[in-house]
Amino acid sequence: MRRPAFLRATLCLLTLACHQAMAAPSPYSSLYVFGDSLADAGQFPDLSGSAQGLRFTNRQANGEYAPVSPMILAGKLGFSGSVTGPSTSLSNLLQGRPDGNNWAVGGYTTQQVLEAITDTSQAVIPPGRLGAGLVLRERPGYLANGGRADPNALYYLTGGGNDFLQGLVNSPASAAAAGARLAASAQALQQGGARYIMVWLLPDLGQTPNFSGTPQQAPLSQLSSVFNQALLTQLRQVDAQVIPLNVPGLLGEALNDPGQFGLATGQNLVGTCYSGEGCTANPVYGVNGTNPDPSRLLFNDSVHPTIAGQQLIADYAYSILAAPWELTLLPEMAQASVRAHQDELRNQWQTPWQGIGQWQAFVATGAQDLDFGSQRSAASGDGRGYNLTLGGSYRLDEAWRVGIAAGAYRQKLEAGQRDSDYKLDSYLASAFAQYKRDRWWADGALTAGHLNYDDLKRNFALGPAERTEKGDTDGEACAFSARLGYNLAVDDSTWQLAPFLSADYARVKVDGYDEKSGRSTAMGFDDQDRTSRRLGAGLLGSVQLLPGTRLSAEVAREHEFEDDRQDLTLHMATLQDNDFTLAGYTPASNLTRASLGVSHQLLPGVNLRGNYNWRKSDELTQQGVSLGVSLDF
């Protein structure tokens, strides 16, 4: 059914508004864009009378231009539209509007992209257009006159197509030179202070309406590949976190399976376009077709994407930035398993000691809830888990009890805007000891274990659809925990109150892995190593409610010394030699934990207990309940 024009416009506006309102965390201070018409936000006046500048993409139902990919990405990152407005627009100058951070200009070659950074930015009418060569406005480039780049901003870079279209590339050598010039723009940004630079690989020009089916198709496809290889090689020399976007791979997947991306099936998506400018308008979904809809077509004109193509690229870029916000939660899942295991041990330690020379066996089961709040560089997440713990202790003498315990923990975490699904099985074993003499007491445990991340599903938007990239990996954990306290009451008192000091160490290592699909969106992740070192102080108390029933409670405040942000090194699975490091989860500096338990003697030597445990820091809340039984023999 054909949608009314006003409805299509409303849906588009609502989509952009939702991107803004539901923006996930962003560690970036701003977004700066450099490039050509593929990213131009409207540098040239629109002679049709639109308040927007001319963009090289389709118009929407309301007559305005659709946003280009960096504008969509900016909305996802929570930046206002003014941030990615045009930088050198004559309309801005005449109407007194502030310039934006988008320095991309339609028609720019790679040399002009570089000059807009280091020398002069010109809004110059490109070749082939009426008034070609006329400079409408110019201003100093972004880094001209000794300017410095914002090191906390994200930089977005496109270019190369106009070198081909304007006849500057006609051989492998000239294609490689053009790729090197685009890399020089990234190098200039890095030398100016930029740390995070996202760079498009050039789309396959042979697979555009301008060249598809012509004798130029195969040579241009080959030269596009040469350009990209030179670009990637040079980008590896840039001392910054350079994020390559495999745009040709993504668009190739869209052409091979258009229905998966919301594009029209049974249509020639390369040989036709939406507007009919420089190519054949699609007879169904083109502007004058039987059912005009640019979102069903990949190309607006002979070389430029429709909103569908721009949306795909923006979603793809965002999925890369968001990946470490989710994946750096994997070590935190394991840390949560270790903490739950230690809670189980402390719960067990509150049961009455067996006689000297006797054993005490115990079994416990429990469930946990894990809630990660959103950070600037980490996604929110909700986790659920359950566990089974077995163990036993032996009382050596009046003062000492030693034991062992083993636990299996199953966790599931849903994180990010699309509820990515991460699962972890933890197998932990501990040796522990308890000491009490007079009013002094102490306990400690050594823990080690194996981590099995057997089902990792990273979900993200890709156009109107959702894509999932899957993987699995292993890891290991080790930990040490100790407390030293002093009872304020004598042993046979009906109540006990003991201040204590605590020390905790835990190290989790998650092995690196590659997602399995091999598609343009699949990624590979390096090893992650997360260490926790904490010191704390607290109170442990209990009261005898009935002859066989005792209520216990504990509260402590702990300081985390390992609170640096957890960055993650990653790469695209199809571009393995170009890795980069992005920001992830930041552990809290302080946390509060508390527990409440009750134990009841069912029979002499048989005790039943139930416990509730709670931890809270700035963005993390962990809760757990458990039920256990112990038997002396």
Reported pTM: 0.93
Its sign, for the CA torsion 41, 42, 48, 51, is positive
Contacts for 215 with CB less than 8 Å, ≥ 6 apart? none
Residue with tokens 């992830």: 584
Amino acid at 330: L
pLDDT at 50: 67
**Could you give the maximum distance between any two Cα atoms of the chain, in Å?**
99
- Write the pLDDT tens digit of every residue in 247-295: 999 999 999 999 999 999 999 999 999 999 999 999 999 999 999 999 9
Q: Rounded to the nearest 5 degrees, what angle is found at the Cα of 413, between the Cα atoms of 408 and 418?
A: 160
By CB atoms closer than 10 A (0-12, 13-18, 19+), residue 121 is buried
Give the closest residue to 555 by CA, choosing from 508, 524, 592, 585.
592
The pLDDT score that the predictor gives to residue 19 is 39
Spatial distance between the Cα atoms of 232 and 219, rounded to a whole number of angstroms? 20
Per-block mean pLDDT, blocks of 10 residues, the chain (633 long): 37 39 72 98 86 90 93 94 91 92 98 98 93 95 96 98 96 98 98 98 97 95 98 98 98 96 96 95 97 97 97 98 98 97 96 96 97 94 97 97 98 96 98 96 98 97 96 98 96 92 98 97 98 98 94 97 97 97 96 96 95 95 97 96
Q: Are 382 and 399 in contact (CB under 8 A)?
A: no
- Report whether 632 contacts 354 (CB < 8 A): yes
Residues in contact with 257: Cβ distance below 8 Å, sequence separation at least 6, in sequence order: none
- What are the beta bridge partners of residue 486? 440
Question: How many Å separate Cα 612 from the centre of its chain?
Answer: 32
Partners of 504 in the beta sheet? 481, 534
Q: Characterize the bridge pairing of strands 420-437 and 400-415.
A: antiparallel
Q: What is the dihedral of CA 46, 48, 51, 57, to 10 degrees?
A: -60
What are the catalytic residues?
A: 37, 301, 304
Q: Where are the beta strands (DSSP E) in 77-221?
A: 120-124, 135-140, 154-157, 196-200
Contact 573, 524 (CB under 8 A): yes
Q: Residue 178: its pLDDT value, please?
A: 98
Rounded (5°) CA angle 438-610-604: 60
Instruction: Give the integer Cα–Cα distance in Å for 227 and 172.
Output: 8
Position 24 scores a pLDDT of: 59
pLDDT at 7: 33
Phi, psi of 472 (to 5 degrees): -155, 160
Which one-letter amino acid corresponds to residue 527?
D
Q: Are 554 and 540 in contact (CB under 8 A)?
A: yes
CA distance 35 to 110: 8
Would you list the DSSP string of 508-546?
EEE--EE-SS-STT-EEE--EEEEEEEEEEEEEEEEEEE
